[in-house]
Structure 1
Amino acid sequence: MNTPSFDRRPCILKLINPVQQYAWGNTDGIAPFIDIPPIGGMPAGEVWMSTHRRAPSKVLLAEAETGLDALIEQDPAFWLGPEAAREFGDLPFLFKVLAAGAPLSLQVHPDRTAAQTGHAEEEARGIPLLAPERTFKDPNHKPELAVALTPFSAMAGFRPIEEIKSLLGPELCALAGVDSLPDGAEAFRELVRRLFNVPQEAREKRQSAIARRAGELSASSQTRERQAGRLVLELIERYPGDPGQCAPLVLDILELEPGQGLFIPAGVIHAYLKGSILEIMACSDNVVRAGLTVKHVDVDLLCRILDPEAKPLCINAEPAGDDAPGMRHLVWHTPTREFRLERFVLEGEESRASQACWKPEGPEILLCTRGEAQIHADSSYALRARSSLFIAGTCPRLTLQGRAEVWRAAVGFEQSASKSPEKGPAP
């Protein structure tokens, strides 16, 4: 595809974003928040806004569709801005709308070192990028932030070891050798190996024990026990024969309300369960799975990149400090430089629309999930509900005006290294 060349480049471009279809997806959970074309087959699970080589976004430029990746490659300094061009050389984040109608796979994302090593090894072995057994699709780490658009549930991080033993019960503890685990953090790595790496000949006995224990827990008077047991029963029905069915007995179950955030660092075992979210991450598609999927599973590799001491963070949005009449500006702080997520809520009176102003420090993507806004920069642009725009890093100071809810995905340069995210209550 040829990239149009012209003298006066607009600094704001309309995005056309690819849809990812998965068996666990929920088209009705995505459509209220972003435009998607009619699709057949499996439901829509994600819409990507990024330059990731697996499915880059396109932009409308000179009345033609052009890959955002190709556009940035032509002139990184202009499209990314000088600082992002020097540090990253490409759009450093992947921004998604994700809707889960059923649980996703039990997974861990690698840190940068593991990703670089694994990617180089798979490239040397000639494994095609889209091959089912391909794990490291790029050499990047994948810290990620999810912010709930609807009530949202997930499993993330380990329960205390004594609670795990109590939930598993005597039979499962004996079958998995839980009482002989090593001490310290290594106990969790070995626990994952013993629970999810089950030989085929032992699976039937293990499955029967899991089902019995889930039935007992689902009738418990204790809320956490009952919640875990009922989720195991749901996973048994959804993923028959999968050792990952017992994950709710090992992992914390988190419930998020709209606007609440969950930050998943590299090395944290997790599985999203149900609901719609905005998700922003370092630009990577590296996933190592342990179960709850028909895709490639590698429990031994997952255990090697698992960091039992890394914890998920429940993050509350904080005021950005520049609120004005009719305008609220919130930010979810994370310990990353690749990305930052913000939300503008413009609620001016009918006779006077409210506005927000800022100067981009790097590339940005704006997504309007409600209402309609106008952006004024080098020219004026419409941002309608369920549409998205790419903002060049060299864009002049811009003004966002209207009555709308607009999400701003940007690089994390403005996040102070000394500022810790505001954590929500522990589950």
Structure 2
Amino acid sequence: MQKDHQRLPCLAHLENAVQQYAWGDTQGILPFIDAHAGPGYPIGEVWMGSHGRAPSKLRLDAGSLPLDELIRQAPRHWLGDRVADQYHELPFLFKVLAAGSPLSLQVHPTLREAREGFAKEERAGIPLSAPERTFKDSNHKPELAVALTPFQAMAGFRSPGEISALLGPDLCDAFNFKGQKPEELRSFVRQVFSIKGDAYQTYETGLRVRSEGLLHSNSGKEREAAAMVLDLQSLYPHDPGQFGPLLFNILNLEQGEGLFVPAGVIHAYVKGSILEIMACSDNVIRAGLTIKYIDVDLLCDILKPHAKPALIRPEYERFDWGSRAVYATPASEFRLECLEVQANSPSTGISYSPFGPEILLCTEGGFHLRAEEELELRARTSCFVAGSCAKITLEGQGKVWRATSGGQAS
């Protein structure tokens, strides 16, 4: 066990795990973080954190070592006393994500649902690597997405009246949809997403005809939904997820805007590049728009029709060195800030005392970091700040994203 904190660094560069997916966009990742793709699918995500599925490595004198193992060996050094006592692990996972095509329609469980689901699958002996394994861990997954480029998503239900208007009389009759109350939407989703095989072709044809008609609507929102449906029919033929744009809100974020997605909110990221920070979990229950395992019944059990996503606009604070943008969410596991230092500012130095462990990602410019040791943080690189670090100073210019475990820096 590593007990002597004086022999462990406070700062270390990160070597991060690359995730390659069919929906990924390597060129959407590379402007923001250094990453290398192997053969196969494009890069969809770069993970920064200690999740057991794909932990980052810390570049130390002894070599590059997995962050989750280092935390187990010396939790109070790497996490700090507060986080070590409360969470016993790094409580957040930080990602760069780029969608070249839509991700799956999905929901995330509450903490209770995650613990029960994980325990059930463990008792059933389903391997963590099995395609039909849903709960990869026992944690919930509230998440915040911040747009690095113009970004589009589907998230949360439209009103029943809006759904009826978009579906039109023929599809409403086919599904016996009569503008149900919000609490009845769960059974409607189960009905739509459970249609399989040849039975779906009739609905698919009706959806195409309806969407082609909506392309000529006077409503920009109706045209937008119809165009997305037709795109999804091309990308995901015979997939009931094609109905998503008529059922769920389409959200368009500009660079710097955020979207908070709590447990139970159905959503799909459609296109664009984002930063994403979440509780340390990989629990995803899918309904469509994917080649991965789908569990419509479980999704409908976890689905919360009344739950809403929240558009998060940063709160700006001005300083003599530049600005700090804070993205406030209800989640206690994480906090995200963007520090932007202008080259012509009166001061280009920032000093603070970390509230817990941090991951810093520089997306523009470069910074010289000083704590008990020194480190150069260049554009498109990241580093880990130990929770036991008493004070850190950043000097330079550019933009650095600060992912933390929550709370304020002093």
Please give the secondary structure, in 2, of the residue aligned with 1:369: strand
Aligned to 2:20: 21
Contact 1:4 1:61 in 2 (8 A): no
Please give the secondary structure, in 2, of the residue aligned with 1:94: strand
- CA 4–150 in structure 1, closer or farther in 2 if over 3 Å, else same: farther
Mapped to 1, the partners of 2:342 and 2:259 lie a distance apart of 27
Aligned to 1:194: 191
Aligned to 1:231: 228
Aligned to 1:222: 219
Mapped to 2, the partners of 1:31 and 1:5 lie a distance apart of 38
Aligned to 1:58: 57
Mapped to 1, the partners of 2:326 and 2:4 lie a distance apart of 36
Contact 1:280 1:409 in 2 (8 A): yes
Aligned to 1:302: 299
Structure 1 position 207 matched with structure 2 position 201: no
Mapped to 1, the partners of 2:287 and 2:376 lie a distance apart of 44
Aligned to 1:127: 126
Mapped to 1, the partners of 2:31 and 2:73 lie a distance apart of 34
Please give the secondary structure, in 1, of the residue aligned with 2:146: strand
Aligned to 1:342: 337
Please give the secondary structure, in 1, of the residue aligned with 2:319: coil
Aligned to 1:276: 273
* Structure 1 stretch displaced more, 23-32 or 324-333: 324-333
- CA 5–218 in structure 1, closer or farther in 2 if over 3 Å, else same: farther
Contact 1:3 1:70 in 2 (8 A): no
1:67 CA drift (Å)? 0.4
Number of aligned positions between the proteins: 409
Aligned to 1:394: 388
Mapped to 1, the partners of 2:380 and 2:196 lie a distance apart of 47
Per-residue CA distance 1:49-107 (angstroms, 9 max, x = gap): 01111101111111401000000000111110111001100000000000000000000
1:175 CA drift (Å)? 1.6
Scaled by the length of structure 2, the TM-score of the pair is 0.97
Q: Decide which of 283, 286, 289 is 1:289's aligned counterpart.
A: 286
Q: Decide which of 390, 402, 408 is 1:408's aligned counterpart.
A: 402
Mapped to 1, the partners of 2:354 and 2:84 lie a distance apart of 14
Which residues of 2 match residues 19-418 of structure 1 at below 5 A? 19-179=18-178, 181=180, 184-319=181-316, 321=317, 323-349=318-344, 354-414=348-408
Mapped to 1, the partners of 2:403 and 2:205 lie a distance apart of 46
Mapped to 1, the partners of 2:91 and 2:227 lie a distance apart of 39
Aligned to 1:422: none
Residue identity matched to 2:379:
A
1:348 CA drift (Å)? 2.9
CA root-mean-square deviation: 1.7
Mapped to 2, the partners of 1:308 and 1:374 lie a distance apart of 47
Residue identity matched to 1:134:
R
- CA 147–180 in structure 1, closer or farther in 2 if over 3 Å, else same: closer
Residue identity matched to 2:407:
F
Residue identity matched to 1:83:
R
- CA 15–83 in structure 1, closer or farther in 2 if over 3 Å, else same: same
Mapped to 2, the partners of 1:98 and 1:3 lie a distance apart of 34
Contact 1:19 1:44 in 2 (8 A): yes
Mapped to 2, the partners of 1:30 and 1:413 lie a distance apart of 29
Residue identity matched to 1:237:
S
Please give the secondary structure, in 2, of the residue aligned with 1:179: coil
* Structure 1 stretch displaced more, 193-202 or 152-161: 193-202
Scaled by the length of structure 1, the TM-score of the pair is 0.93
Mapped to 2, the partners of 1:209 and 1:185 lie a distance apart of 24
Contact 1:17 1:48 in 2 (8 A): yes
Please give the secondary structure, in 2, of the residue aligned with 1:345: strand
Contact 2:160 2:179 in 1 (8 A): no
Q: Which runs of 5+ in 1 are unaligned?
A: 416-427
1:308 CA drift (Å)? 1.0
Mapped to 2, the partners of 1:301 and 1:66 lie a distance apart of 37
Contact 2:29 2:98 in 1 (8 A): yes
